[in-house]
Every structure is written in C-alpha cells, then in structure tokens.
Amino acid sequence: MKNICHITTVHSRYDTRIFLKECSSLTKLYKVFLYILILTSVSSSFNSQKKELFELETPLINIEYIKPFVWGESHLKNPAYMNMSVLKEINKLHPLGIGGFTFNILKEGLKYNDSSKIALGAKYLNFLVTDYPYTISTDSLITYIYPFDFSGFKGKEWYSGMANASLGLAFALGYEIFQDSLYLDFAYKAFNSVISDIDKGGCSLKFEENSKWFLEYATRNSDTTNSNFVLNGFLHQLLALKIFADYTNDETYQNNYEKGLEGLRLKSKDFYYPDGNWTFYQLNPKSIEPPHYVIYDIILFESLYNISKDDLFLNEVETRRNIIKSHYNLQCKKTKNKKTIYFFSQIGTPHPYLVDIYPNLIFFNKIRGRNNEERQTKKEKKVIYSKKRELLKPRAIKYNILDRCFSLDTLSNMENISVYSKYFNDSILLFRTNTSELQEFNNSSAQKIEFKLNTNFELTKVDDFNLVFLNPAKEEQGFNRGRFTLELDSLYDMKKYLALIITPEIKIASIKIEIVDNKGVSAYRYYINSLKPQSPNIILLTKEGFKNGANIEISKINSVYVNIYSHPESQDKPFKLKINSILDITTNYQLYKLLNSNPHFFFPEKVKGGHLY
C-alpha cells in the first residue's frame, strides 16, 4: 500500500476539509499520515515549531467484531445524549449508556466525516476523565460506579464490567482519533477494572487458576455464591477484551481473555434448559431468557468467532439459531395453482405477550447451480430470484395484531428461505432453511380441553357455566386473592401453546398460573399484563415460560391452578369472572386462525421494556 503524507501549517488536526474530507477519504486506498505544524509562542522574540504525526488507521472499526456494540446505537437518536443533558443529573448517570454512546458517536463521526460528532465524542471522553463523580480509582485501574439502585443493588455500591469494557473501547477509539495518550491511559485503566479481582475494585471472579468470569453486576462483596452470572454481559466483556488485546498486542489482556474463555467452557452448558429447548439469561437465580437476548447472544458469539476462529463460539451460534428456528419456524401449504403459501409468526416462546423477536426480514430465494451433480458436491449455487418480505414492528400496536405479528406470502415454489432480525439499519441472521424442510400447515383448529372447575380462597363458583365471583379485598390486605383449579379430564401434552380464555368483569391486578403433572410436581409463572374487562382475553402460555418447567412431565399435565389478584380500590363488591375455555394450540398457524376467526378476543401484550426498537 502506498503512503501519502499531508502537511499543513495553518489548519487544526480536525479541520473539516483537510482531516475529514481529504485525509479520511484517502485512507480507503492509501496509508495516510497527517503532519500538523503548530506555531507555539515561547517568548516575544521567537516562535518554535511543534510537529505532530497522526497516522489514520481504524482497527477498532471492523463491523465483524464490533456489531454487538453497534447494535445499541439507539442512544444516537436520544436527544438527552445528543445535547449532553444526560450528564446533568449525576444520580442517574449510566456508565454503560455513556460508554456505548461515546463509542458509537465517534464511530459515526469517522464513518460520515462528521466533525461535530467527533467533537461531541471528545466532550464525553473529557467528562469521563475529569468530571464523572463516582469511581474506584487507583494508579492502575478505574471503575465507574452506578449512582442509582437497580435490581437489588444499592446505588453508589455496584458497578459493571460490561460498562467498563464499553468505556475502555470508547477511550481506545478516542486515542485512535485524537492521539491523546491520556485517553489510551484511561482505556488501559478501564480494561484493568474488567480483569482485576473483586477485592481490588475490579469485576473479575476466579473459578480456578486458569479460568475466570467477568461480572456484569458487581460489588465489593461479589463472590461465586451470590453473583448472577449473566451471559450476555460476560460475552460483551470477553469480546471487548479480545479486541483490546489484539489492538494493543499486550499479553496481559490476551491471557485474561483466555482465562475468560476457560470460564465460559466451564459454564456454557448451564445456560441451556435440561432438554436443550431454550436458554437462561443468567444462572443465579436462573431466569428465562427473552428472545431478544437470545438474538443478542448470537451476535456476540458470532463476533467472537469472527475475531478468534474458535469453534466453541461457532457451535454456540449454530445451537442458538436452531433453537430460534424450532420455535419461530416457517410453515407452508401447497395451492392448487402450483404455488406455495409461506407462513411465519413473530409471536412465540417463552413469553408470547412480549413479542420481542425484533421486526423481521424474510428472503425467499430460488437457487440455480450449473448442474444437479455440481449442486450436490461443490455447492456452487447462484440466487436467480429473491423475494424480500419486511414485517411490521411487532410491538407497533397501532396496527392490527394479525398484520404486525404474522405473514402469509403466496409465491412460486422457492428453494430456501433466510430470516433476519432487524434493528434500525442493521440486521442479524436468525436462521436459514430449505423449503423441503418446512412443516406443512393445514386447516385444523385449536382443540378444547375438557375440565372440571373447583374454587377456593376468596373465589366462589356461581353456576355450571364456569362463572365465579371474587370477593372484595380488605384495606389491610392490600390485595385480594382467589384461586380456581381446572382438573383436566385426561392428561395433557403441552406441545406448543396452552391458552386460557377468561372474561373478567373489572380490571385484575395480576395472575399467577401453575401447571401440575400426574406426580404432583408443579411449575409456575406470573402473567403481568392487564386483562381487558368485559372481553374474552387470551392468556397464551408456553412450557418454556414456566419457572421449574424443566422438572415436570410436560406431556402429563393433569391440572392447572389460576390465582387471581385484585386491588381494594378496583373492587368494592364481588365481581364476576368467566372461564370461557382452555385450548390446546399445536402450531403458530392455529394461533393465527384462532385470532383471525375471533376478532373480539383480546390478546394482552406488554409493549414496553426489553430495550427494543
């Protein structure tokens, strides 16, 4: 590669024309050096010249590696970050948000030759260096502390390796742009926080001599018994650490990356359900992973594979894609005119009411090879036709649920299909499938499950048509609870969805649902969404969404307990509750058909939370 040397005596380092338009553009084809001769006043009698050498290289700006950090670009659209007002409320400072924003605003400034964004990134870096009020700081590390309470952690006492890793990358990118050694020093200190032990103010837990775990949530009292062990936060740090190790060529960070890798080998299997059917978000306590975090795990593992070529990461990517594929699978149906209807649902496990798989893109492809033999051996194939289907945002509730959560496409017979999740202007492959592998759907409907109704606590049965009364709560109770039990006529095999259709007379505070197998082992979950009064509500349940669901015989369910909670202010007299039916829904198409044929049904959704679009 040829070198270009640009010398100026009258421009600043980040002059819009010289630096952003000319020099930055030339880096696409050449190695560029920018020399700035700065006239510095030393005395009244003479001026001296100071030469600055700036080599324009951006090894951190590699989309194959940094995609997980780019995936959170939503802060770039947040006015509070863009106008820096987010820094004014010191008791709400969010180190991870600040680190992610700073890294991305600098990246965007480089990408689009925008000096204003680069200048904004510099202001954030300087704030972190001089004005961030809560840190653990030594000669070798700096740990940025959270000022607010969160999930059982007390403000000004907890911190995050995930946040410090993001801040470390932001400082490294700042050094790369501004060539200010102070930023490089802070990058080292931030990453030293990630790799240092808890008793030294860091975020690292040792398992054995050669293995460790990097904590997303840490305090001075963290140990192997009380830590959460959040997977995505750990992977985020592991990836950032590998990027920094390669960037600095420093064995300290490479060695710690390898110890983290060994820690992952020890723990990786624990993040799967015993049957391998879904994943956990964290290990202590084990909590069910929402789909958007499964997708984020895929991005992290894929980036780690791209930078390391370690098959451990590739295997994790493939396993998680297969899990998504099994639950959010495409179905098809042949038509009489030799075309095919392709069906896809954005509703799925483990919490159907969240609908948080992101908006999806589907590509239907026809493939051609030179000949059949070559197609089977060398795999030399060419896409000769592709149909793109972009689904609506599944949480955009201004649209009908049938329009935003399901797709039905009638096309000429295709050969393979690719499904992507979309986030702003980026996307991630969820899975690919050959059309020959697709399950064919039919016109079968959801089946009613026969049951006998029993009631207890503050719930009483009114008649034989499954109508019950819930008595009003007393002020000192704070809430009222009634429970009805659905004794199933025969053992039930929960293959896809169990749907309870319930019509409440007034608003209900919350619902707790338990399923019990024939040996008396139970699993439970809460359904936190508000049911719509005076309407039949579909409470949609999946086996993966129940806590302790892995320990029951899911094919031998014999009863369902439903606990109804109401507040005193919403109830001054007994109110009616109608249990319409219980349905067995075995495919997503049956769910679509049920909603399509019963427009009066209400599907309670949680449309906020989860850090989604």
- Other C-beta atoms lying within 10 Å of the C-beta of residue 490: 9
> Token pair of 375, please?
């197609």
Question: Is residue 531's pLDDT more than 80?
Answer: yes
pTM metric for this prediction? 0.87
The full set of domains in the chain, from first to last, is: 3-55 (no CATH), 63-324 (1.50.10.20), 332-343+355-440 (no CATH), 447-585 (2.60.120.260)
CA atoms lying within 13 Å on the CB side of residue 169: 37
SS (H, E, C) 51-102: EEEEECCCCCCCHHHHHHHHCCHHHHHCHHHHCCHHHCCHHHCCHHHHHHHH
Residue 569 has what pLDDT? Answer: 59
- Answer yes or no: are the C-beta atoms of 435 and 417 closer than 8 Å: yes
Separation CA 300–CA 292 (nearest Å):
12
Kindly tell me if the per-residue pLDDT of 476 is higher than 60. no
Cis peptide upstream of residue 472 (ω within 30 degrees of 0): no
Q: Report the chain's C-alpha Rg in angstroms.
A: 29
How does DSSP assign 251-284, residue by residue? HHHHHHHHHHHHHHHHHGGGGB-TTSSSBEEEET
pLDDT higher than threshold 60 for residue 484: yes
Structure confidence at residue 527 (pLDDT): 85
Strand partners, 525: 513
- Percent of the chain whose pLDDT exceeds 70: 87
Cβ 321 vs Cβ 357: under 8 Å:
no
What residues pair up with 539 in beta bridges, in sequence order?
Answer: 500
Q: Report the range of poorest mean pLDDT among 184-198, 251-265, 395-409, 567-581.
A: 567-581
How far is 107 from 101, CA to CA, in rounded Å? 10
CA nearest neighbour of 219 among 264, 152, 165: 152
For 533-562, how does the pLDDT look when each residue is reduced to its tens digit (9 = 90+)?
Answer: 999 999 999 999 999 888 899 999 999 999
Least confident of 55-64, 247-256, 279-288, 310-319: 55-64
At residue 44, the pLDDT reads: 31
pLDDT tens, 200-216? 999 999 998 899 999 99
Summarised one tens digit per residue, pLDDT across range 50-102 is 334 444 445 676 767 888 887 756 678 889 999 999 999 999 999 999 999 99
Mean pLDDT for the stretch of residues 269-298: 95
> And the tokens for 491?
């053992």
Q: Which of 32-46, 375-389, 519-533 has the lowest mean pLDDT?
A: 32-46
Closest C-alpha to 511, from 452, 459, 453? 459
Q: What are phi and psi of 213, to 5 degrees?
A: -130, 135
- Return d(Cα 255, Cα 464) in angstroms, integer: 69
- φ/ψ of 554, rounded to 5, equals -70, -20
* DSSP-derived pairing of the beta strands 280-283 and 211-214: unpaired
Q: What is the pLDDT of residue 204?
A: 98
